């Protein structure tokens, strides 16, 4: 799905920025944090959602359609206000039980592709998650440049900052996917953390992406780190090209629908307080 062209945000080496069934995760030990990488304290891109109505068209586009999205999902993604809107200081992504396109559920999938593409950075998203069997919200990133392999998933990489499936309440997943490391091959790299209130309170889901490692945390607590090892090629580490952000809520699917879908729970919302991207500072 192509988005309309927009301003691509790429930065120099001094100031640089920056889904799918992840139930099978391999924990990667965290190496010592390198003092080489720091992040600026001022965001270089952000949306505070301090307005009302549709998401800011200068910052967000939509992936549209209901073809299953490679995971046999049951929703049709729309750009309708009922599925994606800003109100009371939050972005609302809402999944609804209703006829939509060829599907029986509607939802939204927002993307920054073509409007804000990033190379490295710290990404912070403060969000409150939906609940109920069949929901599958995600905060994640995909490669924009499509520079590697045959341009199909997962050759150009994926970073899952947050994934949650409603049948496993309060368990949060962080993962990466590459050609060499992915759940299809049973070589997926990722980890999980359990919260007590994922759907009743806001938490800060974050990712640090540098030339040497990708780190995923909740409320500042790192629980997964993937380091670039010596000799890695693009098959293991495609994370040296631009990526874009995605925010969505799927319904059902190969992972989210493993326990079925409880139609009595809808509508369900993922609420996002803010999205902030801080540039990477490479120390000399």
> Which position among 75, 94, 124, 158 bears the catalytic label?
158
Question: Of 246, 67, 76, 217, whose CA–CA distance to 144 is shortest?
Answer: 246
Count of CA atoms in the C-beta half-sphere (13 A) of 157: 26
Question: Is the four-CA dihedral 35, 274, 55, 263 of positive or negative sign?
Answer: positive
Question: Is the four-CA dihedral 178, 179, 183, 188 of positive or negative sign?
Answer: negative
Provide the terminal-to-terminal Cα distance of the chain, rounded to the nearest Å. 40
Please give the structure tokens belonging to residue 263: 């139609």
Active site residue 87: no
Please check whether residue 62 is in contact with residue 77, taking contact to mean a CB–CB distance below 8 angstroms. Answer: yes
Say how many residues make up the chain: 284
Please check whether residue 246 is in contact with residue 259, taking contact to mean a CB–CB distance below 8 angstroms. Answer: no
Active site residue 158: yes
For 259, residues 6+ apart whose C-beta sits below 8 A from its C-beta are 133, 134, 167
> Which position among 163, 208, 229, 235 bears the catalytic label?
163
What is the rounded (10 degree) CA torsion for 280, 183, 201, 220? -30
Question: Of 127, 139, 280, whose CA–CA distance to 216 is shortest?
Answer: 139
Which residues are the active-site residues? 158, 163
């Amino acid at each position: 799905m192509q988005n309309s062209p927009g301003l691509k945000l790429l930065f120099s080496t001094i100031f640089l920025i920056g889904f799918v069934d992840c139930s099978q995760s391999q924990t990667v030990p965290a190496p010592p944090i390198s003092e080489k990488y720091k992040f600026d304290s001022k965001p270089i891109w952000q949306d505070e959602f301090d307005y009302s109505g549709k998401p800011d068209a200068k910052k967000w586009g939509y992936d549209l359609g209901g073809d299953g999205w490679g995971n046999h999902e049951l929703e049709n993604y729309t750009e309708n206000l009922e599925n994606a809107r800003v109100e009371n200081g939050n972005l609302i992504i809402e999944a609804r039980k209703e006829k939509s396109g060829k599907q029986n559920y509607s939802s939204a999938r927002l993307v920054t592709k073509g409007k804000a593409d990033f190379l490295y950075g710290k990404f912070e998203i403060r969000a409150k998650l939906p609940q109920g069997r069949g929901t599958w919200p995600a905060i994640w990133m995909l490669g924009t440049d499509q520079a590697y392999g045959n341009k199909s998933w997962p050759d150009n990489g994926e970073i899952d900052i947050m994934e949650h499936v409603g049948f496993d309440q309060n368990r949060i997943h962080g993962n990466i996917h590459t050609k060499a490391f992915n759940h299809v091959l049973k070589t997926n790299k990722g980890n999980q953390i359990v919260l007590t209130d994922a759907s009743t309170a806001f938490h800060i889901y974050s990712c640090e992406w540098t030339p040497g490692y990708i780190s995923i945390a909740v409320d500042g607590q790192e629980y997964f780190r993937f380091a670039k090892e010596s000799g890695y090629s693009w098959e293991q580490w495609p994370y040296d090209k631009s990526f874009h952000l995605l925010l969505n809520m799927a319904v059902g699917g190969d992972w989210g629908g493993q326990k079925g879908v409880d139609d009595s729970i809808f509508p369900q919302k993922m609420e996002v307080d803010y999205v902030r991207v801080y540039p990477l500072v490479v120390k000399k």
